[in-house]
Structure 1
Amino acid sequence: MTPQQFIDAALWFPEAVETEPFGPGTLVYKVAGKMFALLGERNREGIPFVTLKCDPDLALELRAEFPAVIPGYHTNKRHWNTVVLDGTVPDDELLEMLRHSYQQVVAGMRRADRERLLAVLGEDTPPRS
């Protein structure tokens, strides 16, 4: 997945906005003021990366399955994964990780906000984690 494809996917989610709170080159995607994704310009190898929120057990599974998935860079490593966009993680898997991240963030919101946002996605309200 290219960075532009990731941007398009992140902005597809209800009420998603793109910000640059860390300065140029690092795009942060938020819903209701809460970050659900970060797109970094380049890692040490010059490859873009994304950081996504994740259920801790699933985070470990994804890290075991994909070498490009590592503990979150500059985030809580229990709840965030960083995915190097080197082409080794299938696009559909990366889109599912993005969706999961959005859902994780929305699940922690006030009930009214949670129900409104998930209704737009056509989903039931998940239990708060």
Structure 2
Amino acid sequence: MKTQTLSEQIKYWRDACLTKLASEESTPFGEGTLVYKVAGKMFALLRLGDELSINLKCDPQEALILRDTFHEVIPGYHMNKKHWNTVSLTSDLDPELIKGWIDDSYDLVVKSLTKKQQAALKGR
């Protein structure tokens, strides 16, 4: 990822979030943060700039393990630190590992939806 330009990196991570079923992108916090939602609930926040990072929802126990294991993972910036991690996207972490965390974040949010909302997603 380090050989890609910043705009290429942003496109890569945007695509990773937007490929999730019924994912929607918005900028409710300004142009510097891209927010990804499913059924109106956030699952990722992509912070733009030289220090590209992504906030991802996480199981509280798993969040602690990831923070202890990877110095590139810290408590969620401006988020509930129990449920959110911030991951540096300018680090040497394997992009596939981070994409797996995006999947986990998305899945957590989908599981929190009502059965009716989940059925509507599957029926798309």
TM-score by length of 1: 0.84
Match of 1:49 in 2: 53
Equivalent-residue separation in structure 2 for 1:4 and 1:67 (angstroms): 24
Structure 1: which 5+ runs fail to align?
A: 121-129
Q: Which residue of 2 aligns with 1:36?
A: 43
Aligned partner (choices 80, 83, 104) of residue 100 of structure 1: 104
Q: What secondary structure, in the 3-state scheme, does the structure 2 residue paired with 1:38 have?
A: strand
Aligned positions, number: 116
Q: TM-score w.r.t. structure 2 length?
A: 0.87
Q: 1:20 aligns with which of 21, 24, 27?
A: 27
Residue 73 of structure 1 aligns with which residue? 77
Contact 1:68–1:86 (8 Å) recurs in 2: no
Runs (5+) with no aligned partner, structure 2: 2-8
- Taking the aligned partners of 2:31 and 2:16, their CA distance within structure 1 comes to 20
Give, in whole Å, the separation in 2 of the partners of 1:61 and 1:55.
10
Which amino acid letter does the alignment assign opposite residue 105 of structure 1? V
